[in-house]
Chains A and B, each alone.
Chain A
Amino acid sequence: MDHDAIISFQNVSKHFGKVKAVDHVNFDIQRGEFFSLLGPSGCGKTTLLRMVAGFETPSSGEVFLDGEPMSVSPPNRRPVNMVFQNYAIFPHLDVRGNIAFGMRKAGLTRSELDRRIDEVLELIKLPGYGRRGADELSGGQRQRVALARALIKQPKVLLLDEPLGALDKKLREQMQIELRQLQQQIGITFLFVTHDQEEALTLSDRIAVMSEGQVIEIASPSQLYESPGSRFVADFIGSMNFFEGEISSQEGSTVRIQTQTLGDLSAAYPAESSTVGQRVWVAIRPEKLLPVFTEPQSRTNSVAGQMGASAYLGDRSHFYVYLAQRREPVLVALQNLERMKDHLYQPNQSVWLQWALDAVVVLPRD
């Protein structure tokens, strides 16, 4: 175990009857990190979070918090606090009552407590809301109160269970920025659960991608996006075009790959994991494919196709390009840098897709 780890999962499993909600999970979370658990619903991320909070106990393995094993301590004795998915604001208390709830045993004087509450109200940008009842708060305000109620306890780790899921898009984006700033300001470790990959990318220092109870990959947002380690991760985060290919030769950390649809291409692939003849996925992000409408000079790193349907999304446009030898279309995303150029892309038009050498991600197949 890394001694700087604030949370350490050691061989943690959780079974509900025959269902393995969490299956042999091992990893550490560093002090002061904004760490996200990302995965589709039912992947075990919430169960993992609830095991840190103490609402679930591992079937086997152990969760360490700041070096202490947690399996014998009940939720109320753990130095962590949680922001619940639906915020769980106590309906019978006002905002101050909610925030003061956990401070009963802190041994503060009345005035000291009032000062602390005012401080966190300031921190969450709700000064003067102290006497509002729980039913008089908007969704965003409830979320802030839930945050304040947990933060006033000065937890070693703040646990957040999809706290932005119930907010509308604009408010969610605003709260993402505030949450990130808040975390940097107070320096507490955040453990954040979400199924929204964009949210995880925006907020996190590191992300653990989970599926079916297992951690598939842990990496920084840019690493996960630009060089994912598996087809699952590449597919789950953002959009990705996959092409079947086979390694035909290798030279240092560069390999030549033969594909049916894209022809021969070169790409970076670590030498130790590749062998000639190995079947691989060639993966290219939609925004890394550049459409051109006149035939390019060079045939390398480009492919001819035919324009299919397109979708105008305001800041960018998506189109589907059909290639010879391939049934499903390739998704291409283009920034709309100029106004009103949408009409240029006609269906059935000939188009050539080009990409840079480093745009190609090679992933193991099978």
Chain B
Amino acid sequence: MNNAVTLSETRLKLRKLFLKSEPVRGYTLLSPTLLAMIFGLAMPLVVLFTLSFWLQEYLDFIRTFSLANYLEFFQKPIYVKVLLKSIRISGMVTIATVLLAYPMAYFIAFRVKSNKLIWLILITVPFWTSYLLRVFAWKIMLGYNGVINSGLKSLGFLTEPLAFLLYNPTSVVITLAHAWAAFAILPIYVSLEKIDRSLLEAGRDLGESAWMTFLRVTLPLSLPGVIAASLLVFIPTVGDYVTPSLVGGPRGIMIGNLIQSMFGQSQNWPMGAAISVMSMFTVAAMIGLFLWGTHSYRKRVA
């Protein structure tokens, strides 16, 4: 009987603790997600980092600490060169995508009066096609017997098809800019839509022209959307593997292709891990620089 009393007392105490402690209840709900993320994200990243300090010997790893992979990364010019090229390509894709998307988002947010949803759906429809096929579509567009060459030939502008349209960094930029278009429009649209319309009227009321109102009110207020769009396009495109493989040719390869080859033909996983780690750090640094830049721009405007 004494036992029963203490048992129910402990139960009461536990219940009291559970009721009282919001962190306990919150983390209980978070636990499935957190566990999955620890096993599927934190541990793999730790392993990736560790592996980058190991070496490959045929099918086995030499599990002793070594900086050889990193030394190779900096000594052979190809790695740094391809990494920088990837960043340049992604940067151009990001700029092109955001610049093309902004007027479209502006149009939907400010000029379309009814049925905005229809416009938004209209923009996303092409993206229901498989990503791979969307990328492949540009092979059809730019290829030797593709749409552009055939079109120009039948119009009499060309006698021989142009060979330089496909398999170069520019074709990679065009293809990626097309593939990621919707990802840039949506965040910019959302941030434009959030702007209080009376602020724009205030801008005009205070004597600014439409163009200056845009520069001094609309643009700074939509900056969060522009930043989100830039990151949303830049991050995945840096590591993209599909597009350079399909339309990049030898001159259009990017860091994703190098990483893949280390896990494929070259069978040098530790080197692949080291390239991945270096790319992650570089991308993180680029993002940091970008955010710092936009932050100081916003401060200057404000």
Contacts and interface: CB of A to CB of B under 8 A. Distances in A.
Q: Do any beta carbons of A and B sit within 8 angstroms of each other in the complex?
A: yes
Nearest to B16: A72
Interface residues of B, number: 5
Contacts, number: 10
10 smallest beta-carbon distances between A and B, as pairs:
A57-B20, A72-B16, A72-B12, A57-B19, A72-B15, A74-B19, A71-B16, A72-B19, A57-B16, A71-B19
Interface string B48-64: 00000000000000000
A57 B21 CA distance: 9
A71 B18 CA distance: 11
B102 to A, nearest CB: 36
Given A71-B19, A72-B15, A74-B19, 7 more contacts: A57-B16, A57-B19, A57-B20, A71-B16, A72-B12, A72-B16, A72-B19
Interface in A100-146: none
B20 to A, nearest CB: 5
Interface of B: 12, 15-16, 19-20
Contacts of B12: 72
Nearest to A57: B20
A57 B19 CA distance: 8
Contacts of A71: 16, 19
A71 B19 CA distance: 9
Interface string A254-277: 000000000000000000000000
A58 to B, nearest CB: 9
A57 B20 CA distance: 6
A64 to B, nearest CB: 16
Contacts of A57: 16, 19-20
Interface in A60-98: 71-72, 74
Contacts of A72: 12, 15-16, 19
Contacts of B15: 72
Nearest to A59: B20
Nearest to A58: B20
B26 to A, nearest CB: 15
A49 B16 CA distance: 19
Nearest to A56: B20
A248 to B, nearest CB: 55
A72 to B, nearest CB: 5
